[in-house]
Amino acid sequence: MQKILICDSDELFRCNLRSALKSEDFYIQEASRPGEAVKYVLNEVFDVIVFCLQSDDTNGIQIFSAIRTIDYKLPVIVITDINEPLSSVSSIIHESFRLFQKPVDCNEIEEAIREAVKVKADNK
């Protein structure tokens, strides 16, 4: 069973994505804050993380870098609603498995998760 971590402060988004993934054989762990996601990554092994860069209490780019330091090969699907030029998040673009800008279709995220799980399994 593949383990997926969904980190987003938007509870409705997490619920919708969890529902979209219900038919798959995934174990879903949710985090509402990036710092919480780091704690999970330190203590558990995940196959994919869906990570939103926005947070009221922390810098999402720094947290993304911390996750990368913990497990560089872990596929991270990044979601952002930053309306800045993409050059401001260019390092994230190059190190993420996929980058989506909100609003995002849960079906597209689900497809990216399946692809990331396959890539990770092929690289073991």
β pairing state of 76-80 and 2-7: unpaired
Could you tell me where the DSSP H helices lie in the chain? 11-20, 34-43, 60-70, 90-95, 106-122
Q: Which CATH number applies to 2-122?
A: 3.40.50.2300
How many angstroms separate the CA atoms of 15 and 28, rounded?
Answer: 11
The whole-model pTM stands at 0.86
Structure token pair of residue 82: 């930053």
Mean pLDDT value of segment 97-119? 89
Whether the pLDDT of residue 64 is over 70: the answer is: yes
Could you tell me where the DSSP H helices lie in 48-88? 60-70
pLDDT at position 109: 92
Cross-strand pairs, 80: 101
Average model confidence (pLDDT) across the chain: 83
How many angstroms separate the CA atoms of 106 and 34, rounded?
Answer: 20
The answer to whether 29 touches 44, Cβ cutoff 8 Å, is yes
Q: Domain-by-domain residue ranges, the chain?
A: 2-122
pLDDT at position 56: 56
